[in-house]
Structure 1
Amino acid sequence: MLTVPNLLTLSRILAVPILVFLLWRPSWWDYGITFVLYCLVGITDYFDGYLARAQGTVSRLGQFLDPIADKIMVVAVIAMLISTRQPGAVPIIWGFHIIPALVILLREITVSGLREFLAGLQVSVPVSALAKWKTALQMFALGALILAGAVPQLPWVHQVGLVSLWGAAALTVITGWDYLRVGLKHMD
């Protein structure tokens, strides 16, 4: 159970409270530290799966924890980017840009519930290649938005983050629909 891939996944979960704490005090310095930590944590998302497959140590615990670690981190970071702000400034995600953030949050909750329901029926729903791209774009978008807090003098970084967030939301809807279609076949 305590393989390197599983430890990497657990490190992502344990890093979430630190990310939240840093985003709670949103000075440019805190955003900068958060960006570095977020990037390190994001890299573990790639390496945990890669190492598990390369070493032949893919485990049920890892398969269970990996998507949960992703969702916990995404939900926590989105919540903090919507709620915190630098003195005299608006939050990083605000106005109509909250729509893609909500789409992402609602999809994550729905797909988690659907997976739990299907697991009870002994139906496995593997992660699609498009869902992996969706996760990568979400991670990129949130990273860019965190970085935008560290470099407010570069507004284009914020714009890149917001455009990426909308793109991630679009992929979120597409992949969510794919999972829902599979789930509906098993509902009587």
Structure 2
Amino acid sequence: MMTLPNILTLSRIMALPLLAFFLWWPEWQLGYAIGFVLYGLIAITDFFDGYLARAQGTVSKLGIFLDPIADKIMVATVILVLTAQGYLRGPYVGDFHVIAGLIILMREIAVSGLREFLGGIQVSMPVSKLAKWKTAFQLVALAALIGGGAVHGQPCQVPGDACASVEQTWLHLIGLTTLWAAAVLTCITGWDYLRVGLKHMD
């Protein structure tokens, strides 16, 4: 059923290779600026596809299937590309920030598998308020990291190097901080979902 909300969802998925292209060259600040705008457009369509589907009464099985997949593919795409290009690197601890990205990806995979299992036994698992906060922190973190590439350029490659000062990389540091906040909430909400799932696995 190709309604407008479903078309918006599909457009988000189709735009991701283009987003990865603009983020592929870590020193290309213009590319990151374009990527930031594209990321913003993708996030906006994420809001409007669900809003329009509910407002128009056109919620479909295709939309229910595609929407969470589009979200997870977007998050995975951005985290993997930013990791590969050194944007999950910060002062003093270097690549340790990659752990936050790994936690988020592991949770997304685990919760998707859990939802599939519970769906098979006709058990729904609604999104909690804390999970919505996790998503908000996640979106802000990735936006800040991409925006940091547009404003500051590629992060320092040597932990503790002088060029990694707060004044020169403040947007990048905001991205790393909120990414860790999202990772912490990811652990909390992931455990909450797992507890619900375990009750149905006896």
Aligned partner of residue 77 in structure 1, secondary structure: helix
Is 1:124 aligned to residue 138 of structure 2? Answer: no
Within 2, Cα distance between the matches of 1:143 and 1:100?
15
Within 1, Cα distance between the matches of 2:124 and 2:62?
15
Aligned partner of residue 138 in structure 2, secondary structure: helix
- Structure 2 unpaired stretches of 5+: 90-94, 154-167
Is 1:174 aligned to residue 188 of structure 2? Answer: yes
Structure 1 partner of 2:146: 146
Structure 2 partner of 1:186: 200
2:87 to 85, 92, 106: 92
Q: CA RMSD in A?
A: 1.2
Within 2, Cα distance between the matches of 1:17 and 1:142?
16
C-alpha deviation, 1:56, in angstroms: 1.1
The runs of at least 4 aligned residues of structure 1 exceeding 4 Å deviation read none
- Structure 1 unpaired stretches of 5+: 85-90
C-alpha deviation, 1:178, in angstroms: 1.5
2:24 maps to a residue whose letter is W
Structure 1 partner of 2:172: 158
Within 1, Cα distance between the matches of 2:87 and 2:46?
24
User: Over residues 4-30 of structure 1, what are the superposed CA-to-partner deviations in whole Å (9 max), with x where a residue is unaligned?
Assistant: 111111111111111111111231011
Largest Rg, 1 or 2: 2
TM-score normalised over the length of structure 1: 0.93
User: Over residues 25-74 of structure 1, what are the superposed CA-to-partner deviations in whole Å (9 max), with x where a residue is unaligned?
Assistant: 23101111100000000111111111111111111211111111010000
User: Over residues 84-114 of structure 1, what are the superposed CA-to-partner deviations in whole Å (9 max), with x where a residue is unaligned?
Assistant: 1xxxxxx110211111111101000100111
Is 1:56 aligned to residue 51 of structure 2? Answer: no
C-alpha deviation, 1:132, in angstroms: 2.0
Within 1, Cα distance between the matches of 2:15 and 2:131?
23
Structure 1 partner of 2:10: 10
Within 2, Cα distance between the matches of 1:22 and 1:187?
44
Within 2, Cα distance between the matches of 1:45 and 1:133?
16
Structure 2 partner of 1:73: 74
Within 1, Cα distance between the matches of 2:126 and 2:66?
14
C-alpha deviation, 1:115, in angstroms: 0.9
1:133 maps to a residue whose letter is W
Percent pairwise identity: 66
1:185 maps to a residue whose letter is K
Within 1, Cα distance between the matches of 2:142 and 2:121?
34
TM-score normalised over the length of structure 2: 0.86
1:44 maps to a residue whose letter is T
Within 1, Cα distance between the matches of 2:121 and 2:25?
44
C-alpha deviation, 1:130, in angstroms: 2.1
